[in-house]
Amino acid sequence: MPATYRRYFEPFMGGGAFFFHLTPDSAVLNDRNPDLINVYRCVAWNVEGVIKRLVEHREAHCESYFYAMRNRWNDRKAKRSEVERAAAFIYLNKTCYNGLWRVNSKGMFNVPVGRYESPKVFDPKVLRSAAATLRQADLLTGHFAEACEAAGAGDFVYFDPPYHPVSSTAKFTSYTQGSFDEDDQRELAALARSLDKRNCSVMLSNSDTPFIRKLYKGFRLRTVDVARAINSNASKRGTVPELIITNQ
């Protein structure tokens, strides 16, 4: 990553690990999952309200409560505040199987309950720290290209998109409705080249495949071994090669 930069942009925020590691003074964060962005907005501006509701979830947690909450989450007609929905999102994510957030083609969260005896659910100290960092950012939910419209010279843009599958049988049911196919990967690569021409610092993560290497020919490609803990086949959990792609 660049030694210095003006603003930080992350169009595929997801869990935001890199953002929270950097804690930039100014950031534009985006994700296509509106429920995830709602969590970040509520943590940023009403963290005590989120914590209060998470205490209630933690005290009530059991298998039957989890499935009742999952059914209520999937009932889009049920009325609840943004803070209530944010707390429910965190609760379900922290108590479901492997912490995996996945929805089906109808947008229904369908992960079963996890095998935890006493899940911690949340850490108030961590949430309050995250709130202070998130208040330095603009939080958007839209297309990844729209999230970069304001990026210019001196800005740092990091892309962590849905990865290109490493084989024809590799798949993952998305954590949002829809998919991210090869045309989307091509659009992203074109955007990266556009940002390079705008004198932005650009960095991407993706799988190490011939298709991705071809898309980013001319960029700097580094191979890294990354630990992966989630796989339906436990024997296949371990390190896998990925690419870090930069324009510098």
Q: What is the layout of strands, in order, in the sheet containing 156-159?
A: 137-140, 27-30, 8-10, 156-159, 201-207, 238-246, 220-228
- Per-residue pLDDT, averaged over 14-21, amounts to 96
> What percentage of the chain carries pLDDT values higher than 70?
92
Predicted local distance difference test score (pLDDT) of residue 230: 60
Q: Which residues of 66-96 are buried (b: 16+ CB within 10 A; e: fewer)?
A: beebbeebeeeeeeeebbbbbbbbbbbbbbb
Domain ranges of the chain: 8-32+141-171+179-246, 35-132
pLDDT in tens, 222-239: 999 988 766 556 566 678
Ranges 73-82, 85-94, 128-137, 170-179: which has the least confidence = 170-179
Q: pTM for this structure?
A: 0.89
Count of all residues that appear for the chain in the document = 248
Q: Hey, what CATH topology would domain 35-132 get?
A: Adenine-specific Methyltransferase; domain 2 (1.10.1020)
- Contacts of residue 213, defined as CB under 8 A and 6 or more positions apart, other chains included, come to 221, 243
pLDDT in tens, 192-215: 999 999 999 999 999 999 999 999
Reply yes or no on domain 8-32+141-171+179-246 having CATH 3.40.50.150: yes
Look over the chain and give the mean of its residue pLDDT values, rounded to a whole number.
92
